[in-house]
Amino acid sequence: MKALAESSHAFRAMGSDCVVRIVVDDDRAEPILERVETRMNDLEQRWSRFIDNSELSQLNRHAGDPVFVSPEMFSVVSLAIDAWRATDGLFDPTLLDALREAGYDETFDELVDRAPIEINDLALRSGGLDEVVLDARSSLIHGPLGLHFDLGGIGKGHAADLLFAQVMEDGVAGACLDFGGDIRVGGESVEGGGWVIVIDDPLQPGEDLAVLGLETGSVTTSSRLRRKWSTTTGEAHHLIDPGTSKPSQSGLAAVTVIAAQAAWGEAHAKAALIAGVVAGRALLEQAGLSGLLIADDGQLITAGQFNDFVVKGPTLSS
């Protein structure tokens, strides 16, 4: 019997650098890794608002009408609505119009090279998700007229969860999937035991803030410093506060969350960042999650049992 080894594959999808590491017999690694990239590209074709014929674009174009979708599309929309309810609306997947109005109407790769964008002060709707009818038996979604979805706040996390399940079903001993900072791990690492996950310092790019040890689960980070662009009134970013329909100004630069599922962690990281230090920490703890909140001034605030996962880094107070 051949010894297990770690194999990895890097690719770009959903506007992010993706790295997949699996622990498996070398002879079996290549097709497993190729299947991950193929399915990730398929999910992007379904979920991206930047692809005109994606399922998401079609769903938004037919707002007000019942739309039959694929099981993958139904699952991510249903999960997004669950996250909206769980966060009392702080995670809101219906802010597409607000994102566009803030200037995020092209992929980020295209956006960074554009001249400063003029922002108009318009009243934009959010929420309305209680009016959405979901029929799981037929994969049908029927939302109200004018409600437009954006899945950027949960899509990569959900993809990480789906593809982690896929590689484990393929028989790997362990896996670490990092989709642009949304990380899902489980099983054995090649060294044995759990997985080592490095958290970057959002205020000092390229520097490590902390190193975590995790046997199974996810680590997801939401930051207002990663995706930002110039407007005629200053910098804007992609984390929209549903209370104002404008980029959040909560005093937090980033939030990292440890959760069982990457999609749940990703949605709660965004909700906590929008909520701010006190309310964000409370939100994570009420959800039974652990996290690290990084304030604009560099202050580090932990939530839940975050310190139990730290193997290297600064001394953090709870």
> Looking at 91, 121, 142, which one is the last position of a domain?
142
Same domain, 132 and 256: no
Residue with the larger pLDDT of the pair 134 and 106: 134
What is d(CA 179, CA 40) in angstroms, rounded to the nearest whole number?
Answer: 10
What is the percent of the chain with per-residue pLDDT over 90, rounded to a whole number? 65
- What is the mean pLDDT of the segment spanning 45-53? 94
Q: Is residue 314, in this structure, part of any structural domain at all?
A: no
**Looking at residues 35-47, what average pLDDT do you find?**
97
Would you place residue 1 in the very low, low, confident or very high pLDDT band (cuts 50, 70, 90)?
very low
Flag whether pLDDT at 31 surpasses 80.
Answer: yes
Residues near 313 by beta carbon (within 8 Å), at least 6 away in sequence? 199, 208, 209, 210, 211
Gyration radius (Cα) of the chain, Å: 19
Mean pLDDT, the chain, as a whole number?
87
CA distance 57 to 231: 26
pLDDT grade for 111, boundaries at 50, 70 and 90 = low
- Choose between 158 and 116: higher pLDDT: 158
Cα–Cα nearest to 19, from 4, 2, 36: 36
CA distance 317 to 71: 43
Q: Which of the 8 DSSP states describes residue 118?
A: P
Asked if residue 148 belongs to a domain, the reply is no
Residue 149 placed within a domain: no
> Does residue 113 carry a pLDDT above 90?
no
For the segment 283-309, what is each residue's pLDDT rounded down to a tens digit? 999 999 999 999 989 899 999 999 999
Most confident of 177-191, 239-253, 302-316: 177-191
Residue 98: what pLDDT? 78
Structure letter (DSSP) for residue 130: G
| Banded model confidence at residue 228, pLDDT cuts 50, 70, 90 | low
163 and 24 share one domain: yes
Residue 318 lies in a domain: no
How far apart, in Å, are the Cα atoms of 220 and each of 62, 201, 205, 223, 289?
32, 14, 17, 10, 12
Report whether pLDDT(58) > 60: yes
pLDDT in tens, 237-249: 567 878 777 776 7
Specify the CATH number for the domain of residue 251. 3.10.520.10
Q: How many residues does the chain have?
A: 318
Whether residue 87 is found in the same domain as residue 73: yes
Question: With pLDDT > 70 as the criterion, what percentage of the chain qualifies?
Answer: 84
Do 234 and 192 fall into the same domain?
Answer: yes
pLDDT of 258 reads 98
* Domain coverage including residue 40: 5-46+155-308
Indicate whether 118 and 251 sit together in one domain.
no
Query: Looking at 127-265, which runs of residues are DSSP E strands?
Result: 133-135, 140-142, 174-179, 182-187, 195-200, 208-214, 217-223, 228-231, 234-237, 240-241, 246-247, 252-259
More confident residue, 178 or 26: 178
Q: Which residues contact 295 (CB under 8 A, 6 or more apart)?
A: 251, 252, 253, 277, 301
Same domain assignment for residues 104 and 211: no
Which of 9-13, 104-108, 207-211, 313-317 tops mean pLDDT? 9-13
Which among 178, 219, 217 has a CA at the least distance from the CA of 199?
A: 219
Say if residue 54 is in the same domain as residue 42: no
**What integer pLDDT is reported at residue 259 of this predicted model?**
98
pTM of the model: 0.90
Instruction: Please tell me whether residue 215 adopts helix, strand or coil conformation.
Output: coil
Same domain, residue pair 38 and 57: no
Q: Are residues 91 and 103 in the same domain?
A: yes
Using pLDDT thresholds of 50, 70 and 90, give the confidence band for residue 227. low
Inform me whether the pLDDT recorded for 313 exceeds 80. no
Which has the higher per-residue pLDDT, 318 or 8?
Answer: 8
